[in-house]
């Protein structure tokens, strides 16, 4: 449980940095610089989401 508590601030920091990157990218004028900034923001969001909680899929249980 202590490991989970230690990871929580890192996860929050990643989510905040992803949100900040997206906000900065949206403020840029259209063009290649904005496109690259949006790609970076998307990558940061994906990274933050991939290290979050993993839930079991709904439906029938697996065959043993």
Segments making up each domain of the chain, as ranges: 2-49
- The answer to whether 60 and 51 have CB atoms below 8 angstroms apart is no
- Tell me, what's the pLDDT at 1? 47
- Rounded Cα gap, residues 38 and 30, in angstroms: 11
- The mean predicted confidence, pLDDT, of the chain is 80
- Tell me, what's the pLDDT at 40? 94
- Rounded Cα gap, residues 64 and 62, in angstroms: 6
How many other CB atoms are found less than 10 A from the CB of residue 18? 20
This model's pTM is above 0.75: no
Identify the residue whose tokens are 């904005």. 34
């Amino acid at each position: 449980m202590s490991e989970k508590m230690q990871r929580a601030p890192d996860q929050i920091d990643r989510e905040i940095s992803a949100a900040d990157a997206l906000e900065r990218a949206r403020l840029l004028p259209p063009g290649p610089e904005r496109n690259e900034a949006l790609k970076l923001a998307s990558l940061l969001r994906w990274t933050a989401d991939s290290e979050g909680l993993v839930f079991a899929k709904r439906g029938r249980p697996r065959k043993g």
